[in-house]
Amino acid sequence: MFKIMFVCHGNICRSPMAEFVFKDIVKRQGRESDFLIKSSATSNEEIGSPVHYGTVRKLSQYGISCAGKRAVRLTREDYDKYDLFVCMDSYNLVNILKIFGADSAGKIHLMLEYVDSNRDVADPWYTGDFDKTYDDIKSGCEALYKFLCQQVLK
């Protein structure tokens, strides 16, 4: 089983959106048993909070539920529990390295690396544009799934 953790600042907008979009992709491909998919925050600000209503609304447009999801914080111990950490932006990447101390196994990556972009995933917390965030995450998750199926889970 391949274990993925999606990471953003508060775990209420982008990382839960990525978690549930990726779960939906995996489910539609009949590969649920091949993956463990979670999301977390690098900060303590939103711990225990539900998913942002904008993310809930956007996901529901595609028949994707994130019911019951609450923000959790990434821990140092997570490094050994997961195979891949997918950060939504470069700021998250800096913070995740502060939590882990290092990335000796090369497990930490940016979401849009998988679509050959050095751009960060649009942050709807500041823009209010959940459409753009969804587009970034959807394309990133599809490319990540393809990459994993071709390179890791052959």
Q: Where in the sequence numbering do the catalytic residues fall?
A: 8, 14, 123
The whole-angstrom separation of Cα 73 and Cα 139 is 25
Q: What is the dihedral of CA 147, 109, 7, 143, to 10 degrees?
A: -20
Cα 44 vs. chain centroid, distance in angstroms? Answer: 17
Judge whether 13 and 88 are in contact, CB under 8 Å.
no
Q: What is the largest CA-CA distance in the chain?
A: 39
CA–CA dist 24, 28 (Å, integer): 6
The answer to whether 121 and 140 have CB atoms below 8 angstroms apart is: yes
